[in-house]
Structure 1
């Protein structure tokens, strides 16, 4: 409403100069709002009581959960009609609905036939002389008259005394209601009148209702001038109505009222989080949602939250334009610290404040942008909006100063680390320590993405070459849980780092790449970038290159004779040699001996994961599952200790294969489930992803869950999966399914392609996959007995040469029957 608009001139004149003491006037059209008798008692007593008794005025959606406050207003207005004066203070943070409740009070008063005078304070008018009084009382002296000009010249001309006399005279004629919104922005003269009206007996039948949010108009006047006591002097009819945030039920009711249907629980939860229960903020978000035709269904929760965040951003921008710079700086310091530092430290970070910390905390809460708990934190997305008002350099500097302040006062390391995330490099060792310690904690509680951010930030600090390589390995291990490809690149960086002192770290990085399968598609060339500098490192890299290439006859250009006497005694080389010897399928005794040497503890053991897993796989092919189980248990413990997700996944997968080979289907399902929980299928390297899928197909098929097996066989794998050797295992599993559904031609194609891929790598041992005998069965069904006999005979000869028949290594056969072999 523009200044000077009134519902009724209580002094016997309306704004148009007519005498109309017996009628209320609509504040926009000056239409009479109701007939009243000419006697003072008739106006606002009988008719007012009847109007209030008739029922409440239609409620705004902003008055949800404000029933008690509305009841107080109705009671006070009824008592006003009986001749009792009173005062009400409505207070709450911006957006709490103070203005809506004040409007409701005006509507109730107009319903009862009481004259209503309204005034609105504004930040731009805080220093305007008598700005509020000019809105309430221009009929006393028109704008521009001598009285007002005298005030502007520095005198008061007895204005306040004159106004009290006029109020007393007006309330003799009829009860009067004075409404003031945003009282915190009231000018000094208006404050003095409010003080007079709130600390002295009220003149006649007068009800004063003022709303404020506690924000200061200027720093020298940080106290809240409208902070009235509940009662003063002889006046007992005084109330303070603090407005609280909406509860979850209140938010749900408001959404239903706006949208015309109940809201999904996820929508309500999202809006509670984004608005902190602010009715005005919620109403704005719902208005925008309604304009877009959105419905409060579960799938729209994120969109509702985004609209609330946008509305909060608009409100934050408006508020920063109106509050003093010191309060804006404090809000931004709160946004940077986000509860990580004690409030007195936040105040120190913001700069000198002309108030105590307790008062500053109340002012923050009054903005509606921070919580009331200790220490204050921004609500919803307010932090981002508050900091967006700062230039990027200023934001970074604020983060850096906050982190350094936290370090100086020995704040918790995790708090310092969180503050460092938004700061530029500070060039101090304590920063790296804080970030890496917090990253370790984040990994321990399964917050890998947070750990990645912390370690990435730590790597921006200056540090030595070895420390950087250690952090790269740590980051690669952490990223393996969320973005494995990025982790592979970190480990690759370590391989390119020179220096004899970094040999152990280069070996660890290469080992993790081989375990994950990242070195397989490129073979030994992936590891060729490393230049070993010590004998131990050379031995380790030789073993890893051989495992990556997977060729019993030729590994990385070096001749590998699995039956000769040239196998080195290094445990890592022994693990690789055991696996390659087993794949060659000619010397079972040697393969088993090498595998045991690779797993021997402690003197002959190796710290590398890939050679030990390979040794356990070799023991499976030699028919020694008990030793393989023990070895896998040790590898699993070591991989968990290192937090090497790829090593844990490979060890669990191999254990599932062990149980499946023994026909222990339930145990196999348990271990496979663990493997896929540790490393979801989408996080396996394309070269290895077919392996868990193949086990899943075989397991479900042999458990009689054929539909699940077929669904697993239809899963699409990422590009590059067909190039890895694990694709042969998937072809084998698909061939088993084809044979079971009586599609021999398709099964023969799968088994033969499986065989071609294995033979291309010189993997001839039938104990690995008995594809020949299964292809022979399918050929026999098609009447191709000669071809079937040749394959069956070939498998028999190879098995006799190896010394363990495939049935002993695969106790569950494709027909669904079981041939349980001995474990030992």
Structure 2
């Protein structure tokens, strides 16, 4: 279906093998891998796999430090680690402070409030970033004090959004692990992850990879409410491509219960899809809203006409949307783009104010498009032009 993104039907690990992997990683003392990578497409079940793994680790007596990254633009330096260790450092602050030298205590106190023994504003957390080298050395000492005989699982989710300082500290721990029972679990979206993170995880010695794959039709069917009509069930199962999060979002949207397009996503789906845009700048958000008015596929020239952004800022905005995997290159022409999924487009469209939307539609009405050449023939381009307004009048959002 157009606009619903590319959802692979098979991956290197299915859901059953993922569950088995998570269930046995911590069974035998000394056998746990130093690094566990959980990667995959959005909403496929990475966080669910991570929590399943942590539940099993706790049953085996491991301590757990866990946090999810927030977009780097809104994060303080080392915030991913500060959030992950907040609870465990608060509970064991005395033991940690007693076990590390004074210089390391001062460094740790700059990032971890539970270990900050000073009252001076200039040494408040995040006032001035500590280099990753000294921070990594101090944190390794603290981890040795925490692990004891039980071991520690450091679980980091959404690491594709991590701030640069946290990525540097992660690299320090992976490349120079402490002399302690530490397992670092990293969950991320590989399409949105920086090359540095991908390279680090690919080269980590002894790393174990978990790739949640699509659910089977029977597993997906069990997620749908009882009483869902058979034709609708079949449509939802097909459109989800085996992705459980996407299935639930589609099922919660008005059109899945008989509504007519254009429809806004349901409240649950709207929250989920708005979250996809939280790492996007104001220009990126404006470009996404403008693209939603134009429709799939769209070009930079069309975006410029509707958004009013200067060419350089618009190019940066589209690059940002590509980096965040909100839009992807079109399949028929090099200068065409489309939303990864039609629900992302619907979310961007229905987030606009009525007055802005009317103005954007007026701008889109003046656009004309030469249809993309057919990829199956060598015939000349069609002579007539199709106004974008025709697509607006016939229904802005795809009806699937």
Question: Whole-Å Cα distance in 2 between the matches of residues 268 and 306 of structure 1?
Answer: 21
Aligned twin of 1:82: 30
Aligned twin of 1:174: 150
Do structure 1's residue 117 and structure 2's residue 65 form an aligned pair?
A: yes
User: Tell me, what secondary structure is at the counterpart of 1:209?
Assistant: strand
Q: Deviations over 1:745-785 (max 9, x none)?
A: xxxxxxxxxxxxxxxxxxxxxxxxxxxxxxxxxxxxxxxxx
Q: 1:248 to 1:203 in 2, by over 3 A?
A: same
2:165 corresponds to which of 176, 189, 192:
189
Q: Deviations over 1:157-183 (max 9, x none)?
A: 833211012324544633221111222
1:105 corresponds to which of 31, 53, 57:
53
User: Tell me, what secondary structure is at the counterpart of 1:90?
Assistant: strand
2:285 corresponds to which of 316, 323, 328:
328
Aligned twin of 1:232: 203
Aligned twin of 2:77: 129
Instruction: Decide whether the 8 Å contact of 1:273 with 1:380 is kept in 2.
Output: no
Instruction: Decide whether the 8 Å contact of 2:167 with 2:197 is kept in 1.
Output: yes
Question: Whole-Å Cα distance in 2 between the matches of residues 400 and 278 of structure 1?
Answer: 36
Shift of 1:107: 0.9
Q: 1:397 to 1:308 in 2, by over 3 A?
A: closer
Matches for 1:361-760 after TM superposition, within 5 Å: 361=322, 363-364=324-325, 367=326, 374=331, 376-377=338-339, 379-390=341-352, 391-397=356-362, 399-400=364-365, 403-404=367-368, 406-407=369-370, 417=386, 419-421=388-390
Q: Deviations over 1:553-605 (max 9, x none)?
A: xxxxxxxxxxxxxxxxxxxxxxxxxxxxxxxxxxxxxxxxxxxxxxxxxxxxx
Q: Deviations over 1:18-63 (max 9, x none)?
A: xxxxxxxxxxxxxxxxxxxxxxxxxxxxxxxxxxxxxxxxxxxxxx
Instruction: Decide whether the 8 Å contact of 2:44 with 2:212 is kept in 1.
Output: yes
Aligned twin of 1:62: none
Instruction: Decide whether the 8 Å contact of 1:407 with 1:416 is kept in 2.
Output: yes
Shift of 1:393: 3.2
Aligned twin of 1:207: 183
Question: Whole-Å Cα distance in 2 between the matches of residues 416 and 125 of structure 1?
Answer: 42
Q: Which has the higher strand share?
A: 2
Q: 1:320 to 1:145 in 2, by over 3 A?
A: same
Question: Whole-Å Cα distance in 1 between the matches of residues 301 and 215 of structure 2?
Answer: 31
User: Tell me, what secondary structure is at the counterpart of 2:43?
Assistant: coil
Q: Deviations over 1:106-165 (max 9, x none)?
A: 111112221111123234984323322223333345254349926634252833211012
2:258 corresponds to which of 282, 296, 302:
302
Q: 1:134 to 1:321 in 2, by over 3 A?
A: closer
Superposition CA RMSD, Å: 4.6
Higher relative contact order (CA 8 A, sep 6+): 2
Shift of 1:246: 4.7
Q: Deviations over 1:509-564 (max 9, x none)?
A: xxxxxxxxxxxxxxxxxxxxxxxxxxxxxxxxxxxxxxxxxxxxxxxxxxxxxxxx
Question: Whole-Å Cα distance in 2 between the matches of residues 318 and 324 of structure 1?
Answer: 13
Q: 1:237 to 1:122 in 2, by over 3 A?
A: closer
Question: Whole-Å Cα distance in 2 between the matches of residues 320 and 232 of structure 1?
Answer: 30
Question: Whole-Å Cα distance in 2 between the matches of residues 421 and 307 of structure 1?
Answer: 19
Aligned twin of 1:69: 18
Q: 1:123 to 1:236 in 2, by over 3 A?
A: closer
User: Tell me, what secondary structure is at the counterpart of 2:258?
Assistant: helix
Q: 1:416 to 1:270 in 2, by over 3 A?
A: farther
Do structure 1's residue 145 and structure 2's residue 117 form an aligned pair?
A: yes
Question: Whole-Å Cα distance in 1 between the matches of residues 370 and 261 of structure 2?
Answer: 35
User: Tell me, what secondary structure is at the counterpart of 1:96?
Assistant: coil
Instruction: Decide whether the 8 Å contact of 1:118 with 1:136 is kept in 2.
Output: yes
Instruction: Decide whether the 8 Å contact of 2:147 with 2:180 is kept in 1.
Output: yes
Q: 1:418 to 1:382 in 2, by over 3 A?
A: farther
User: Tell me, what secondary structure is at the counterpart of 2:27?
Assistant: helix
Between the two proteins, the alignment pairs up a number of residues equal to: 333
Do structure 1's residue 312 and structure 2's residue 274 form an aligned pair?
A: no
Shift of 1:252: 1.8
Question: Whole-Å Cα distance in 1 between the matches of residues 343 and 129 of structure 2?
Answer: 48
* Structure 1 stretches lacking a partner, 5+ long: 1-64, 217-221, 290-299, 425-449, 454-824
Question: Whole-Å Cα distance in 2 between the matches of residues 244 and 399 of structure 1?
Answer: 39
User: Tell me, what secondary structure is at the counterpart of 2:203?
Assistant: coil
TM-score by length of 2: 0.64
Instruction: Decide whether the 8 Å contact of 2:76 with 2:126 is kept in 1.
Output: no
Aligned twin of 2:135: 159
Question: Whole-Å Cα distance in 2 between the matches of residues 415 and 176 of structure 1?
Answer: 66
Q: Deviations over 1:66-95 (max 9, x none)?
A: 22222232343336x324442123234443
Instruction: Decide whether the 8 Å contact of 1:212 with 1:226 is kept in 2.
Output: no
Shift of 1:99: 1.8
Instruction: Decide whether the 8 Å contact of 2:252 with 2:269 is kept in 1.
Output: no
Q: Which has the higher helix share?
A: 1
Shift of 1:195: 1.7
Q: Deviations over 1:604-659 (max 9, x none)?
A: xxxxxxxxxxxxxxxxxxxxxxxxxxxxxxxxxxxxxxxxxxxxxxxxxxxxxxxx
Q: 1:135 to 1:373 in 2, by over 3 A?
A: same
Question: Whole-Å Cα distance in 2 between the matches of residues 95 and 363 of structure 1?
Answer: 14
Q: 1:356 to 1:179 in 2, by over 3 A?
A: same
Shift of 1:193: 1.2
Instruction: Decide whether the 8 Å contact of 1:128 with 1:187 is kept in 2.
Output: yes
TM-score by length of 1: 0.34
Shift of 1:361: 3.9
Shift of 1:190: 1.8
